[in-house]
Chains A and B, each alone.
Chain A
Amino acid sequence: GENVEQHPSTLSVQEGDSAVIKCTYSDSASNYFPWYKQELGKGPQLIIDIRSNVGEKKDQRIAVTLNKTAKHFSLHITETQPEDSAVYFCAASISNYQLIWGAGTKLIIKP
Chain B
Amino acid sequence: NAGVTQTPKFRVLKTGQSMTLLCAQDMNHEYMYWYRQDPGMGLRLIHYSVGEGTTAKGEVPDGYNVSRLKKQNFLLGLESAAPSQTSVYFCASSYFPASSPDTQYFGPGTRLTVL
Q: Spell out A's residues near B (CB within 8 Å).
A: 1, 4, 6, 9, 31-32, 34, 41-46, 49, 51, 89, 91, 93, 95-104
Contact = CB atoms under 8 A, between A and B. Distances in A.
A16 B40 CA distance: 27
Given A6-B42, A101-B44, 20 more contacts: A4-B42, A9-B40, A32-B98, A42-B106, A42-B108, A43-B90, A43-B107, A43-B108, A44-B90, A46-B103, A46-B104, A89-B43, A96-B98, A97-B99, A98-B59, A98-B98, A101-B42, A101-B43, A103-B42, A104-B42
B98 A103 contact: no
Q: How large is the interface on B (under 10, 10 to 19, 20 to 34, 35 or more residues)?
A: 20 to 34
B58 A98 contact: yes
Interface of B: 4, 31, 40-45, 48, 50, 56, 58-59, 90, 92, 97-101, 103-104, 106-109
Interface centre among B31, B99, B109, by most chain A C-beta atoms within 10 angstroms, is B99
Contact of A100 (B59, B107, B108): B59
